[in-house]
């Protein structure tokens, strides 16, 4: 090769590398952070090692619209997939798919957590063979995501669209944060939907961040800016282990945000509302509660937290919303969260204040039995240490779904305000004595009869009776609950999973 040819080749190579590093033209989206700046925010300085930089360089497509590689977050190695929205709107072609497949295969081989920075218009319809139908197309990406599920954490920051079949990339991850106003998920655009169904809608109504966070449940949290969702992803990873064989790292202990338990924090009246987050703030290490799906199915609160530095998962009924009853969506919310915690060796704490599952013709038509069975199946299948805390009421099948004694919690702990039973005493009396009550003509006599029967039922549900029959293991004052849980968690440190006896349970769907 002549010197002139060598110089020309080096010049071409340098130009190609520079073009790949520059990425696509992002000037049309001033509210978005360019993809390489997103990676800089995500990873520890100097830790990014990129693969396939020159993909599609001959076609003038920098990195073919996706950056893949490995970096570190607080010293922990992670695999990264980051779409460049400036290159054909981050759409997927043959090499885009191949790069994503290769990094996911590496994550599966090396057991690396995967962080997805998604911003993609979907597959390139001009390259259908490349992304759609082949063995190394989008279907292989989804196969690998499912294969990785429960093996390593998968966290998705959704910065822009995730369209058509590509919408399943976030759906297969453990957590999805969306940037309000920019991020969207949809199987078909409003234009396609109108063509197919005649429906007139908008992108925000069909697949916007707020809709998915409050209605569909596909989004775990909404953020105003790119940097916020990335910061949340880094924080979430700190609660999770590197892989399914590990436990989450312990952090330095911190006292609760609030230490004073007001006497009326949990009202004695079982029908009076209060915010269960006020209880959580008095239990967990200060600032450690990371709520998950905070705006969806809000009658149930789920999230990760720390107790003296240990990561725990919290499932709490929320009396402030719908009396804390379990609905279709809240059953699904609980089932998914429990499954995630069990996959990553995170102990579970159930905070009961539940009147039961919602009842009525409408909720039965929605399949509350089926969805409730999913929650019970997930809870019963979880092998991590489980602890039940009865804050106030624990009635009907809601008590079961929140890990009743028959589901092998390590302990059932009650506050003095707790009541456990198939239904509230008032409802029980009405069910058992309805005919007798109807026969009593005198109002005062009827009222006296009802009050006497309610007192009998209440005595039958008393904590003394529950303790006598080993339904509860201990009764503690509210200000001692944190210490009780910390001690019991410490005693469960040596837990192990049972040997496998089947392939898997059959989900109620």
Written in H, E and C, the secondary structure of 433-494 is CHHHHHHCCCHHHHHHHHHHHHHHHHHHCCHHHHHHCCCCCEECCHHHHHHHHHHHHHHCCC
Judged against a pLDDT cut of 80, whether residue 91 lies above it is answered with yes
Q: Could you tell me which of 61, 180, 175, 62 has the C-alpha nearest to residue 116?
A: 175
Give whichever of 87-91, 194-198, 420-424 has the largest mean pLDDT.
Answer: 87-91
β-pair type (348-354, 386-395): parallel
Section 149-177 average pLDDT: 95
Per-residue pLDDT tens for 397-425?
A: 999 999 999 999 999 999 999 999 887 87
Q: Check: CB of residue 420 under 8 Å from CB of residue 467.
A: no
The predicted pLDDT at position 80 comes to 98
The predicted pLDDT at position 3 comes to 54
Gyration radius of the chain's alpha carbons: 27
Measure Cα distances from 102 to 21, 127, 136, 140, 141 in Å.
20, 19, 10, 10, 9
- Residue 296, SS3? coil
Judged against a pLDDT cut of 90, whether residue 1 lies above it is answered with no
Section 298-314 average pLDDT: 98
The predicted pLDDT at position 448 comes to 85
The predicted pLDDT at position 390 comes to 98
Q: How far apart are CA 346 and CA 304, in angstroms?
A: 9
Q: Could you tell me which of 48, 84, 46, 47 has the C-alpha nearest to residue 63?
A: 84
Per-residue pLDDT tens for 41-79?
A: 999 999 999 999 999 999 999 999 999 999 999 999 999
The predicted pLDDT at position 133 comes to 85
SS3 content of the chain, % helix, strand, coil (to 5): 45, 20, 35
The predicted pLDDT at position 165 comes to 82
User: Which helix H or strand E contains 67, and what residues bound it?
Assistant: strand 66-73
Which pLDDT band holds residue 321 (cuts at 50, 70, 90)?
Answer: very high
Q: Check: CB of residue 205 under 8 Å from CB of residue 184.
A: no
State the average pLDDT for the chain: 93
Minimum mean pLDDT range among 126-135, 169-178, 320-329, 373-382 = 126-135
User: Which helix H or strand E contains 120, and what residues bound it?
Assistant: strand 114-120
Q: How far does CA 447 lie from the centroid of its chain?
A: 48
Q: How far apart are CA 306 and CA 312, in angstroms?
A: 6
Q: Could you tell me which of 432, 362, 361, 368 has the C-alpha nearest to residue 398?
A: 368
Per-residue pLDDT tens for 469-507?
A: 999 999 999 999 999 999 999 999 989 999 988 888 898
Q: How far apart are CA 244 and CA 439, in angstroms?
A: 62
Which pLDDT band holds residue 2 (cuts at 50, 70, 90)?
Answer: low
Q: How far apart are CA 190 and CA 44, in angstroms?
A: 39
Per-residue pLDDT tens for 449-470?
A: 888 888 877 777 789 889 989 9
Alpha helices in 208-275 (DSSP H): 209-211, 226-237
Per-residue pLDDT tens for 383-399?
A: 999 999 999 999 999 99
Residue 367 has a CB neighbour count (10 Å cut-off) of 15
Section 255-261 average pLDDT: 94
Judged against a pLDDT cut of 90, whether residue 433 lies above it is answered with no
Which pLDDT band holds residue 435 (cuts at 50, 70, 90)?
Answer: confident
330 against 8, higher pLDDT = 330
Section 81-96 average pLDDT: 95
State the DSSP code for 380: H
Phi, psi of 247 (to 5 degrees): -110, 155
What is the DSSP track for 159-187? Answer: EEEEEGGGGHHHHTSSEEEEETTT-EEES
Q: How far apart are CA 161 and CA 178, in angstroms?
A: 10
Q: How far apart are CA 68 and CA 53, in angstroms?
A: 8
The predicted pLDDT at position 460 comes to 77
- Please give the share of the chain, as a percent, with pLDDT higher than 90: 79
Q: Check: CB of residue 418 under 8 Å from CB of residue 390.
A: yes
Angle (CA) 174 50 135, round 5°: 65
The partner residues of 194 in beta bridges, in order of sequence, read none
């Amino acid at each position: 090769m002549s010197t002139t040819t060598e110089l020309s080749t080096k010049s071409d190579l340098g130009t190609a590398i520079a073009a790949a590093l520059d990425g696509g033209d992002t000037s049309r989206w001033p509210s978005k952070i360019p993809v390489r700046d997103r990676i800089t925010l995500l990873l520890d300085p100097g830790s990014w090692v990129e693969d396939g930089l020159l993909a599609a360089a001959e076609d003038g497509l920098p990195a073919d619209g996706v950056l893949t590689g490995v970096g570190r977050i607080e010293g922990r190695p992670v695999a990264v997939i980051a779409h460049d929205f400036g290159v054909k709107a981050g759409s997927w072609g043959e090499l885009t798919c191949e790069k994503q497949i290769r990094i996911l295969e590496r994550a599966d081989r090396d057991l690396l957590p995967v962080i997805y920075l998604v911003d993609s218009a979907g597959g390139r319809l001009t390259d259908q063979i490349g992304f759609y139908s082949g063995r190394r197309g989008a279907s292989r990406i989804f196969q690998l995501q499912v294969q990785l599920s429960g093996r390593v954490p998968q966290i998705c920051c959704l910065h822009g669209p995730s369209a058509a079949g590509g919408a399943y990339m976030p759906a297969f991850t453990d957590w999805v944060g969306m940037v309000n106003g920019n991020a969207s998920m949809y199987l078909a655009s409003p234009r396609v939907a109108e063509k197919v169904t005649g429906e007139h809608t908008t992108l925000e109504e069909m697949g916007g961040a707020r809709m998915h966070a409050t209605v569909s449940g596909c989004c775990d949290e909404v953020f105003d800016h790119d940097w916020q969702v990335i910061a949340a992803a880094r924080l979430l990873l700190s609660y999770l282990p590197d892989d399914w064989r590990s436990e989450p790292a312990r952090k330095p202990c911190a006292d609760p945000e609030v230490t004073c338990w007001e006497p009326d924090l949990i009202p004695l009246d079982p029908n009076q509302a209060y915010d269960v987050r006020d209880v959580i703030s008095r239990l967990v290490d200060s600032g450690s509660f990371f709520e998950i799906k905070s705006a969806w199915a809000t009658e149930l609160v789920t999230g990760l937290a720390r107790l003296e530095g240990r990561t725990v998962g919290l499932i709490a009924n929320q009396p402030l919303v719908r009396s804390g009853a379990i609905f279709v969506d809240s059953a699904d919310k609980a089932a998914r969260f429990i499954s995630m915690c069990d996959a990553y060796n995170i102990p579970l704490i159930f905070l009961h204040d539940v009147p039961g599952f919602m009842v009525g013709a409408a909720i039965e038509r929605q399949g509350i039995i089926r969805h409730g069975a999913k929650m019970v199946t997930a809870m019963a299948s979880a092998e991590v240490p489980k602890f039940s805390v009865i804050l106030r009421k624990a009635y009907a099948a809601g008590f079961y779904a929140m890990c009743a004694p028959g589901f092998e919690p390590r302990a059932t702990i009650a506050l003095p305000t707790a009541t456990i039973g198939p239904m509230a005493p008032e409802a029980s009396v009405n069910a058992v004595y309805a005919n007798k009550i109807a026969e009593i003509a005198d109002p005062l006599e009827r009222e006296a009869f009802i009050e006497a029967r309610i007192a009998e039922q209440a005595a039958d549900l008393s904590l003394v009776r529950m303790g006598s029959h080993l339904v509860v293991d201990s009764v503690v004052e509210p200000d001692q609950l944190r210490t009780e849980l910390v001690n019991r968690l410490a005693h469960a440190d040596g837990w192990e999973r049972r040997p496998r006896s089947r392939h898997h349970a059959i989900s109620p769907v």
